[in-house]
């Protein structure tokens, strides 16, 4: 396994002025892997990419590429290519010349270039656009040109910084599939940055969850989803109810005034823990059959299921159920042992997983981070 | 209705902006020398322009300096802008502030401070003289801020990531700049070049103080011509310049709109066609080659003797200089001024080292007092014998040790016989200028020395009076005269008298001839109370290193044939007896230009006044002028 590690980041720290943006990042990326850096806006994803690409030199730590330290190799000599957040196409060149740019720098013959550009254009479905001005293209088309331009020089690694961030939902889904296809057919390594957990879950081999310049968790999508390491990860990847609990002994946990069986072991006796229960893992039952009882305070129809908020002893739970409930109904809840996930207490404990202030609009607003990115990039 | 108003407004603005230029273009083809009457199409002024060696040479100088300084400033300014753009906010603000100061600073401050720096630096290092190089450095310096101001917004508007993208695709930083950043900021750079070029072509003040002795740009030449009546040559020159700039702007605009059109249409990018690119490349290299050649020539031509001559604008027959150069193998740097005072300022500024200057009487006495002039060795100037004794040993140089008279003349009082009663001019008195019958149609000089000279003479005092009471009376007289004066002007007297806007005005005898040629009703007389006689004489500066060559030049100017050429070109009276004999008798017989001995005996030359009298004069003058502008 060690021998096919392509990139290794060791103890990378980056500061801008007094702000430490990356705090000791340790991460390795295997050849051919689709690795995603996932985290909220401003957590240091772009900075991490820039360290790998060579636009940002780390204050401390090593960047290792194929076993060689490349801290001192300038950007234009690294075998990685980047798709920038806002494409960064060259406005004075047409589509053909944009894609041919890297090849011309490498002094390839014009017939080789023509062949490669044609190949790239068909890869990204833009045949016939050769002579178009890039400013006349739609966002999706510009994105494809950016991909073609980066891939034309046959990089070992492609760095993609929120490449789909500016596209609408439908186009986004299509492009996700296309990108994944491209990655698989070319067999090159993708380091992909996004703040969209769904995108990360559906595309990646490995997800790196970051917050505040610190890697919170590295793992496969299912690991990350099913076994989040702390409240931040649990909340960021999908919806979670996170409540305080006490681990009475192995496989027994108490929360919300009830004892539950679970599958987790290895905690100290009576250790305070965070308990995660995913909304879709809770069954609604009659009050007398429920382990917990509560009152429905809101109901939202979501198509496949209803999303209801249930008040249990003052703590609001979110539950997804296919049975319609009404506001004010008293219901019971049933939770299977394998639906319960126990996490150690962390700095994030108590900050996430309570839906008492839940509002959908608020959730929507906090998602798109492009607005924030714009102002950051100005400096 | 509203739409029509809009159109009218637009039309008026256009008319306002372009009417003057249109008129100028039309009059450049005028068949006669008039600013008011158009009489037949002719190319004579273009002919005259191309015959004027001084204008052509200074035009060429201006072009070289403008092109070189624009190119250099653009390169430096562009890199500066890139650097400033990369800075953190605080130092960036500081730099921008510093960058903007020269832009808003009055030119005169820039000009003087640079001159002082150059004079100091050059006097310490003795590396070279003020001239082409200092001028070029000065122009580059004042152009840089404008380039920065044009390029910086383009850099700011650029997506920073495209530079990174170029690096990412394998460009070295320099290549990335050339291939990606440069095309993005090119419009700003082009505006920067054009702006620098025109600013440099236009500049007078900074050039005036930093060009030293040997190098004269077009604006200085034109400005020095204003003492004499305005020549339609300038119309021709301005028309050519306007067409030149117009073509430049058209090329730039066409290019831009073409690019924009293709972008907006979403059509194909019209990469600048190879032909256009080649043309631009060829033009640029031509400019560079010519400039370099020019620079090399300048570097190599410093070995032989060079005479620096500083004269009034349009005060010589320029072929005379060619003849002198040919005959003696001495290079003459001929440059021009418009006023005794500006000549004096430049001489004492330390930024110039003229050999020969040609000031007027009172200025000569001032320069003698200040020990600026060299005593001439008249053994080297045998032709001095031709100068009529009437013009030797005059008050400003009593023993005639420092100067050789070049031209002379008197002030006269002109009147239009269509409007002025014959009996009012019968006594040929200065009082005509005070005659209330012609209120509102009388002009006066716009310089204190001539104005107070007239007022003093009117009461029978000396023009060089040292008596405060006499000055007080003259000042009071001028105050009473003020209400009937239409304007205090200098070269506008030509136009106003020709167009009969004014009926009465004092001026110089030689210039009356030009006016009378255009309006036969303008007559004149030399005032019976006595007139001012002015004498412009050739002098050698004490600081000259080429005194013998300078004396050779003065002697050459006093050769009869040469003196005739000059007298014919200038139109003022010559003190050269040999030339007098050969000139057209119609001119030498004219008793206004060459008055008889009796009239001459009543004239007076100006001498330099003591400082306290000068102070008093300027106080009275300010009183007179300030209140007049308040009305
Ligand atoms: N060049 C820079 N100078 C100062 N601060 C920066 C710079 N680049 C990024 N930052 C800061 O670093 C933090 C992380 O930025 P970034 O890596 O772009 O986050 P992300 O891509 O995860 O949204 C942000 O708070 C941003 O303001
Ligand atoms: Mg980012």
Statement: residue A285 has pLDDT above 80: yes
Residue A46 Cβ inside 6 Å of ligand 1? The answer reads: yes
Who among A53, A89, A379 is closest to B168 (CB)? A53
Averaged pLDDT score across all residues of chain A: 88
* Collapsed DSSP state (helix, strand, coil) of residue A38: strand
Residues contacting residue B574 through CB under 8 Å, at least 6 positions apart: B407, B408, B563, B566, B567, B580, B583
Residues A65 and A181 in one domain: yes
Who among B170, B179, B262 is closest to A133 (CB)? B262
Residues A187 and A246 in one domain: no
**B181 vs A contacts (CB less than 8 Å):** none
pLDDT digits (tens, 9 = 90+) for B468-517: 999 999 999 999 999 999 999 887 888 889 889 999 999 998 889 888 88
Q: How far is CA A153 from CA A119, A263, B342, in A?
A: 12, 50, 67
**Tokens for A303?**
């198509």
Statement: residue B2 has pLDDT above 90: no
Domain stops at, among A182, A201, A226: A226
Statement: residue A231 has pLDDT above 70: yes
Statement: residue A363 has pLDDT above 60: no
Closest-lying ligand to the alpha carbon of A40? 1
Residues A157 and A127 in one domain: yes
Residue A58 Cβ inside 6 Å of ligand 1? The answer reads: no
Task: Quote the pLDDT of residue B267.
Answer: 43
Average pLDDT, stretch B337-347?
A: 88
- Examine residue A375 and state whether it is found in any structural domain, yes or no: no
Q: Which CATH number fits the domain that encloses residue A41?
A: 3.40.50.300
Residue A377 Cβ inside 6 Å of ligand 1? The answer reads: no
**B262 vs A contacts (CB less than 8 Å):** 133
Domain stops at, among A169, A194, A226: A226
Residue A279 structural domain:
240-365
Which of A22, A36, A47, A56 for a ligand 1 pocket mutation test, highest count of atoms within 8 Å of Cβ?
A47
Statement: residue B253 has pLDDT above 90: no
The yes-or-no answer to whether B303-407+538-597 and B409-533+611-630 have a common fold is: yes
**B173 vs A contacts (CB less than 8 Å):** 74, 76
Q: Which residue of B has its CA nearest to A52?
A: B168
pLDDT digits (tens, 9 = 90+) for B109-157: 988 898 888 888 888 877 677 888 889 999 999 999 999 999 999 999 8
If one compares B225 and A207, the residue with the highest pLDDT of the two is A207
**B172 vs A contacts (CB less than 8 Å):** 76
**Which 151-190 residues of chain B touch chain A by CB within 8 A?**
159-162, 164-173, 175-176, 179-180, 183-184
Find out whether A231 and A345 touch, Cβ atoms under 8 Å. Answer: no
Task: Quote the pLDDT of residue A369.
Answer: 44
Residue A90 Cβ inside 6 Å of ligand 1? The answer reads: no
Instruction: Determine the Cα–Cα distance for residues B401 and B390; give it in Å rounded to an integer.
Output: 16
Q: How far is the CA of A142 from the centre of ligand 1 (A)?
A: 24
Residue A349 Cβ inside 6 Å of ligand 1? The answer reads: no
Least confident of B38-42, B289-293, B505-509, B577-581: B289-293
Q: How far is the CA of A376 from the centre of ligand 1 (A)?
A: 6
If one compares A139 and A210, the residue with the highest pLDDT of the two is A210
- Examine residue A328 and state whether it is found in any structural domain, yes or no: yes
Ranges of each domain in chain B: 47-298, 303-407+538-597, 409-533+611-630
Report the range out of A174-183, A293-302, B379-388 with the highest average pLDDT.
Answer: B379-388
A interface with B, Cβ–Cβ below 8 Å: 53-55, 74-77, 80-82, 84-86, 88-94, 97, 101-102, 105-106, 131-133, 135-136, 149-150, 153, 377, 379
Find out whether B356 and B540 touch, Cβ atoms under 8 Å. Answer: yes
**Which 266-305 residues of chain B touch chain A by CB within 8 A?**
266-269, 271
If one compares A1 and B26, the residue with the highest pLDDT of the two is B26
* Percent above pLDDT 90 for chain B: 48
**Which of A128, A121, A191, A174 is CA-nearest to residue A149?**
A121
Confidence of residue A25 (pLDDT cuts 50, 70, 90): very high
Residues A55 and A92 in one domain: yes
Statement: residue A357 has pLDDT above 80: no
The 8-class DSSP code of residue A253 comes to E
Residues A194 and A335 in one domain: no
Averaged pLDDT score across all residues of chain B: 87
Statement: residue B269 has pLDDT above 80: no
**Which of B246, B189, B212, B219 is CA-nearest to residue B73?**
B189
Residue A41 Cβ inside 6 Å of ligand 1? The answer reads: yes
**Which of B314, B488, B171 is CA-nearest to residue A54?**
B171
- Examine residue A282 and state whether it is found in any structural domain, yes or no: yes
Task: Quote the pLDDT of residue B262.
Answer: 56
Task: Quote the pLDDT of residue B227.
Answer: 63
Q: A132, B269: Cβ pair inside 8 Å? A: yes
Number of Cβ within 10 Å of residue B624's Cβ equals: 20
Average pLDDT, stretch A76-101?
A: 92
**A162 vs B contacts (CB less than 8 Å):** none
Task: Quote the pLDDT of residue B272.
Answer: 54
Task: Quote the pLDDT of residue A2.
Answer: 47
The CATH architecture to which B303-407+538-597 belongs is 3-Layer(aba) Sandwich (3.40)
**Burial group, residue A110, by CB count within 10 angstroms (0-12, 13-18, 19+):** exposed
Task: Report the DSSP beta bridge partners of residue B36.
Answer: none
Atom in ligand 1 nearest the alpha carbon of residue A48 = 17
Instruction: Determine the Cα–Cα distance for residues B426 and B294; give it in Å rounded to an integer.
Output: 61
Task: Quote the pLDDT of residue B24.
Answer: 85
pLDDT digits (tens, 9 = 90+) for A212-226: 999 999 999 999 999
Q: Which residue of A has its CA nearest to B89?
A: A379
Q: How far is the CA of A237 from the centre of ligand 1 (A)?
A: 22
Confidence of residue A30 (pLDDT cuts 50, 70, 90): very high
- Examine residue A232 and state whether it is found in any structural domain, yes or no: no
Q: B165, A88: Cβ pair inside 8 Å? A: yes
Average pLDDT, stretch B441-456?
A: 93
Least confident of A18-27, A356-365, B87-96, B504-513: A356-365
Task: Quote the pLDDT of residue B100.
Answer: 86
Who among A106, A131, A153 is closest to B268 (CB)? A131
Task: Quote the pLDDT of residue B42.
Answer: 86
pLDDT digits (tens, 9 = 90+) for B154-194: 999 888 889 999 999 999 999 999 999 999 998 899 889 98
The CATH architecture to which B47-298 belongs is Orthogonal Bundle (1.10)
Task: Quote the pLDDT of residue A246.
Answer: 93
Question: Which of A136, A156, A165 is the best substitution to test chain B (most B C-beta atoms within 10 A)?
Answer: A136
- Examine residue A371 and state whether it is found in any structural domain, yes or no: no
Residues A271 and A192 in one domain: no
**Tokens for B325?**
């150069």
Q: Which CATH number fits the domain that encloses residue A324?
A: 2.40.50.140
Q: B99 to chain A nearest CA, in Å? A: 21
* Collapsed DSSP state (helix, strand, coil) of residue A190: strand
Who among A75, A133, A153 is closest to B266 (CB)? A133
Q: How many CB pairs under 8 A join A and B?
A: 89
Who among A80, A92, A379 is closest to B184 (CB)? A92
Residues A20 and A155 in one domain: yes
If one compares A114 and B295, the residue with the highest pLDDT of the two is A114
Residues A163 and A308 in one domain: no
Number of Cβ within 10 Å of residue B596's Cβ equals: 8
Residues A38 and A103 in one domain: yes
Task: Quote the pLDDT of residue B101.
Answer: 86
Number of folded domains that form chain A: 2
Task: Quote the pLDDT of residue B260.
Answer: 61
Residue A24 Cβ inside 6 Å of ligand 1? The answer reads: no
Statement: residue B442 has pLDDT above 90: yes
If one compares B52 and B567, the residue with the highest pLDDT of the two is B567
Atom in ligand 1 nearest the alpha carbon of residue A49 = 17
Residues A187 and A42 in one domain: yes
Task: Quote the pLDDT of residue A370.
Answer: 43
Confidence of residue B298 (pLDDT cuts 50, 70, 90): low
**Which of B245, B327, B319, B330 is CA-nearest to residue B54?**
B319
Q: How far is the CA of A8 from the centre of ligand 2 (A)?
A: 21
Residues A185 and A274 in one domain: no
- Examine residue A301 and state whether it is found in any structural domain, yes or no: yes
**Which of B430, B224, B236 is CA-nearest to residue B339?**
B224
Task: Quote the pLDDT of residue A367.
Answer: 45
Measured in degrees and rounded to the nearest 5, phi and psi for residue B524 equal -160, 165
Q: A136, B266: Cβ pair inside 8 Å? A: yes
Residues contacting residue B594 through CB under 8 Å, at least 6 positions apart: B573, B580, B587, B588
Task: Quote the pLDDT of residue A85.
Answer: 85
Task: Report the DSSP beta bridge partners of residue B506.
Answer: B413
Task: Report the DSSP beta bridge partners of residue A308.
Answer: A299, A319
CATH class of residue range B409-533+611-630 = alpha beta
- Examine residue A379 and state whether it is found in any structural domain, yes or no: no
pLDDT digits (tens, 9 = 90+) for B411-432: 999 999 999 999 999 999 999 9
**Which of B175, B421, B591 is CA-nearest to residue A77?**
B175
* Collapsed DSSP state (helix, strand, coil) of residue A194: strand
**Which 509-548 residues of chain B touch chain A by CB within 8 A?**
none
Closest-lying ligand to the alpha carbon of B164? 1
Residues A188 and A166 in one domain: yes
Atom in ligand 1 nearest the alpha carbon of residue A369 = 23
Q: Which helix (H) or strand (E) holds A344?
A: strand A340-344
Domain stops at, among A185, A202, A226: A226
- Examine residue A377 and state whether it is found in any structural domain, yes or no: no
Q: Position of tokens 């030498």? A: B588
Q: Which residue of B has its CA nearest to A102?
A: B169
Note the Cα B189 to chain centre separation in Å.
31
Strands A189-194 and A292-301: unpaired
Average pLDDT, stretch A177-190?
A: 91
Q: At what angle do helices B340-348 and B361-369 cross, to 10 degrees?
A: 20
pTM, two decimals, is 0.74
Strands A282-285 and A252-255: unpaired
Task: Quote the pLDDT of residue A103.
Answer: 95
Q: B167, A88: Cβ pair inside 8 Å? A: no
């Amino acid at each position: 396994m060690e021998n096919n590690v392509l990139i290794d980041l060791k103890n990378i720290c980056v500061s801008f002025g007094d702000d430490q943006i990356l705090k000791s990042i340790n991460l390795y990326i295997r050849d051919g892997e689709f690795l995603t850096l996932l985290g909220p806006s401003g957590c240091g994803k772009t900075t991490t990419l820039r360290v790998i690409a060579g636009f940002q030199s780390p204050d401390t730590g090593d960047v290792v590429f194929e076993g060689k330290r490349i801290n001192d190799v300038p950007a234009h000599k690294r075998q990685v290519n980047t798709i920038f957040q806002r494409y960064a196409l060259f406005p004075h060149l047409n589509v053909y010349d944009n894609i041919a740019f890297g090849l011309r720098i490498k002094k390839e013959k014009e017939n080789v270039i023509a062949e490669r550009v044609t190949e790239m254009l068909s890869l990204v479905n833009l045949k016939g656009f050769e002579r178009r001005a890039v400013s006349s293209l739609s966002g999706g088309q510009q994105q494809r040109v950016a991909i073609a331009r980066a891939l034309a020089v046959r990089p070992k690694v492609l760095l993609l910084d929120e490449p789909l961030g500016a596209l609408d939902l439908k186009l986004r889904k299509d492009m996700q599939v296309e990108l994944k296809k491209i990655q698989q057919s070319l067999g090159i390594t993708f380091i992909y940055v996004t703040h969209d957990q769904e995108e990360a879950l559906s595309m990646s081999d490995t997800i790196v969850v970051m917050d505040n310049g610190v890697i919170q968790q590295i793992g496969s999508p299912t690991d990350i989803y099913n076994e989040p390491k702390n409240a931040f990860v649990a909340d960021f990847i999908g919806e979670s109810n996170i409540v305080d609990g006490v681990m009475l002994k192995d496989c027994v946990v108490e929360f919300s005034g009830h004892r539950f069986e679970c599958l987790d072991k290895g905690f100290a006796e009576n250790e305070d823990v965070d308990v995660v229960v995913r909304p879709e893992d809770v069954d609604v039952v009659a009050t007398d059959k429920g382990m917990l009882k509560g009152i429905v305070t809101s109901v939202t129809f979501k198509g496949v299921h209803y999303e209801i908020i249930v008040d249990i002893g003052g703590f609001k739970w979110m539950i997804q159920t296919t049975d319609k409930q009404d506001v004010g109904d008293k219901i019971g809840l049933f939770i299977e042992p394998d639906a319960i996930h126990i996490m150690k207490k962390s700095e994030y404990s108590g900050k996430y997983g309570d839906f008492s202030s839940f509002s959908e609009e608020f959730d929507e607003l906090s998602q798109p981070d492009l607005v924030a990115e714009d102002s950051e990039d100005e400096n | 209705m509203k739409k029509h108003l809009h159109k009218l407004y637009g039309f008026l603005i256009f008319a306002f902006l372009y009417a003057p230029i249109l008129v100028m273009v039309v009059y450049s083809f005028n068949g006669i020398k008039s600013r008011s009457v158009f009489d037949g199409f002719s190319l004579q002024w273009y002919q005259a322009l191309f015959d004027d060696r001084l204008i052509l040479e200074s035009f060429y100088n201006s072009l070289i300096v403008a092109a070189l300084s624009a190119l250099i400033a653009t390169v430096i300014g562009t890199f500066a802008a890139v650097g400033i753009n990369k800075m953190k906010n605080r130092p960036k603000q500081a730099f921008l502030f510093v960058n903007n100061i020269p832009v808003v600073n009055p030119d005169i401050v820039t000009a003087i401070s640079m001159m002082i720096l150059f004079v100091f630096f050059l006097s310490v290092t003795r590396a070279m003289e003020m001239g082409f190089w200092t001028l070029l450095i000065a122009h580059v310096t004042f152009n840089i801020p404008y380039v920065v101001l044009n390029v910086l917004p383009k850099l700011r508007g650029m997506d920073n990531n495209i530079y990174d993208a170029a690096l990412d695709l394998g460009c070295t930083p320099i290549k990335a700049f050339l291939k990606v950043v440069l095309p993005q900021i090119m419009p700003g750079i082009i505006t920067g070049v054009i702006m620098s070029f025109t600013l440099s072509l236009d500049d007078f003040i900074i050039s005036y103080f930093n060009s030293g002795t040997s190098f004269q740009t077009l604006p200085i030449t034109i400005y020095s011509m204003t003492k004499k009546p305005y020549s339609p040559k300038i119309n021709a020159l301005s028309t050519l310049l306007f067409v030149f700039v117009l073509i430049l702007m058209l090329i730039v605009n066409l290019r831009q709109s073409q690019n924009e059109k293709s972008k907006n249409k979403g059509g194909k990018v019209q990469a600048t066609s190879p032909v256009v690119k080649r043309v631009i490349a060829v033009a640029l290299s031509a400019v560079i080659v010519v400039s370099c050649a020019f620079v090399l020539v300048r570097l190599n031509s410093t070995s032989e003797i060079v005479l620096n001559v500083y004269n009034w604008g349009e005060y010589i027959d320029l072929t005379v200089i060619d003849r002198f150069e040919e005959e003696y193998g001495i290079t003459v740097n001929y440059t021009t001024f418009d006023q005794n005072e500006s000549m004096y300022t430049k001489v004492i500024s330390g930024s110039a080292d003229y050999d020969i200057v040609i000031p007027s009487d009172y200025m000569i006495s001032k320069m003698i007092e200040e020990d600026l002039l060299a005593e001439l060795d008249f053994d080297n100037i045998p032709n001095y014998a031709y100068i009529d004794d009437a013009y030797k040993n005059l008050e400003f140089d009593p023993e005639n040790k420092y100067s050789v008279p070049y031209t002379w003349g008197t002030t006269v009082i002109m009147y239009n016989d269509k409007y002025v009663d014959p009996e009012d001019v019968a006594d040929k008195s200065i009082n005509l200028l005070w005659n209330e019958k012609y209120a509102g149609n009388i002009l006066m000089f716009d310089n204190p020395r001539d104005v107070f000279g007239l007022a003093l003479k009117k009461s029978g005092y000396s023009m060089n009076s040292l008596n405060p009471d006499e000055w007080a009376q003259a000042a009071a007289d001028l105050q009473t005269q003020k209400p009937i004066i239409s304007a205090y002007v200098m070269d506008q007297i030509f136009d106003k008298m020709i167009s009969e806007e004014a009926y009465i005005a004092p001026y110089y005898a030689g210039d009356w001839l030009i006016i009378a040629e255009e309006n036969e009703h303008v007559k004149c007389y030399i005032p019976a109370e006595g007139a001012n006689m002015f004498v412009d004489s050739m002098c050698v500066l004490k600081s000259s290193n080429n005194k013998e060559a300078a004396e050779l030049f003065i002697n050459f100017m006093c050769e009869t044939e040469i003196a005739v050429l000059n007298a014919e070109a200038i139109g003022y009276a010559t003190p050269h007896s040999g030339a007098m004999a050969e000139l057209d008798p119609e001119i030498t017989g004219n008793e206004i230009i060459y008055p008889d001995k009796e009239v001459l005996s009543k004239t007076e030359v100006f001498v330099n006044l003591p400082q306290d009298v000068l102070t008093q004069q300027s106080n009275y003058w300010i009183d007179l002028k300030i209140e007049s502008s308040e009305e």
